[in-house]
Amino acid sequence: MKLPFFPPDLFADEHAELLDTVRRVGTDPAQRFILGERTAAFEAALREHTGAADVVACSSGTSGLILVLRAMDVGPGDEVVVPAFGCAPLAASVIAVGATPVFADVHPWTMTVEPYEVEQAVSGRTAALMPAHMFSVMADMPAMRELANRHDVRLVEDSAVAQGGVLDGIPAGRWGEAGVFSFVQVKTFGTVGEGGVVITDDPELGRLARMLRNHGQPPGRRFEHHLVGYNSRFDEITADVQLRRLPGLAARLARRADIADYYTARFQEVVERGVQPPPPGREGRCHYVYSLLAERRDDLRAHLAERGIGSHVYYPTPLPAQQAFAPYARAGRHWPHAELACARTLALPIYPHLTDAEVEAVADAVCSFPGGAR
């Protein structure tokens, strides 16, 4: 058995369609390769799919976060509360607009940001809260909404990994005043390159994000720069690929959810051996990554590798402990749950084209881990 964590065959059954896309876009008499009619159709399809008032395609999820923060006029002197555990864009996007990230610790099991930690991090300079959905669990968005309202600050939802998740009947991406999705290859709606969207119910935020993604130009007004913007445009080939793959997304997400349910049911027997699966259920869930918490994580990882099963550590280091972000971290503060998550988290393969036999083999391998004290 050889199961890599990052599968090389994500698009193996779509080669003909991919070549067809390249041919059609490449030979289209319009010769329009960015922000053309395919991008517009993709935005419309995602508006329909999510029910959001506006969807703005841009060059990546990271770029989407920057566009949202800029559209909200977050900048120098402002603070944005972000999780201490997560990926670099959470801190980097805030710093990119000239604001300061303030790191809040996470819940030890869900690894999403703790509301009471967020509340403690709020100050007179706070401009926005930016929680992120993590791996397979959505952040506590009702609490975030309440905190943002009570402290009169903006709410940005980093839903880069959570497309398709639903909490209290509200889809991921629509809890914040604006959210983002990422289409980088490994994400649940990953593609053959880079891309992302801003998703919002606020027409003004949508209008500003649309201008900012193309050098601050209002649509159709070339060389009129109303804002200092960015090059964060969307590619027509990617739009064509994503338009074609959108109808299959629900089935792929459902397959991921089924695999997660199976793993979680099987892993109840290893809890006493120090291996904790994520919380069960489907409410407020997304299935980007299936992450266990293991007391002897590195031993479990080696145990799986011996059986040909790839795994991955997201993330080995808390954000405020990273060299790049440490200068922004409040002195004397600690993030013990983020540190614990970094030491214990281990992600298993959960991509939708795994066969039932492969899923069983992964579960068998985890369940044969002897565990025990460190």
Ligand X SMILES: *Cc1c(COP(=O)(O)O)cnc(C)c1O
Nearest 5°: the CA angle 28, 30, 33 is 80
The answer to whether residues 134 and 112 touch, using CB atoms and an 8 Å cutoff, is yes
Residue numbers 10-69 binding ligand X by CB under 6 A: 60-62
Tell me how far, at minimum, the Cβ of 62 lies from ligand X, in Å. Answer: 3
129 binding ligand X? (CB under 6 A): no
Report the C-alpha gap between 201 and 357 in whole angstroms.
43
Tokens standing for residue 25? 């876009």
Report the C-alpha gap between 261 and 299 in whole angstroms.
24
The residues carrying an active-site annotation are 187
Tokens standing for residue 228? 């200092």
205: how many CB neighbours lie within 10 A of its CB?
A: 24
Nearer Cβ to ligand X (140/158): 158
143 binding ligand X? (CB under 6 A): no
Strand 178-182 with 196-200, pairing: antiparallel
278 binding ligand X? (CB under 6 A): no
196 binding ligand X? (CB under 6 A): yes
Which residue reads 């503060």 in tokens?
333
Tell me how far, at minimum, the Cβ of 270 lies from ligand X, in Å. Answer: 27
Residue type, 242: Q
80 binding ligand X? (CB under 6 A): no
Q: In this chain, which stretch among 50-58, 136-144, 158-166, 224-232 interacts with ligand X, using CB under 6 A? A: 158-166
182 binding ligand X? (CB under 6 A): yes
Query: Which one of 3, 67, 71, 87 is in contact with ligand X (CB under 6 A)?
Result: 87
Residues binding ligand X: number (CB under 6 A): 13
132 binding ligand X? (CB under 6 A): yes
The answer to whether the peptide bond before residue 315 is cis (omega within 30 degrees of 0) is yes
57: how many CB neighbours lie within 10 A of its CB?
A: 29
CA-closest candidate to residue 219, choices 231, 232, 230, 208: 208
165 binding ligand X? (CB under 6 A): no
Nearer Cβ to ligand X (86/277): 86
184 binding ligand X? (CB under 6 A): yes
157 binding ligand X? (CB under 6 A): no
Nearer Cβ to ligand X (187/273): 187
Residues that bind ligand X (CB under 6 A): 60-62, 86-87, 89, 132, 158, 160-161, 182, 184, 196
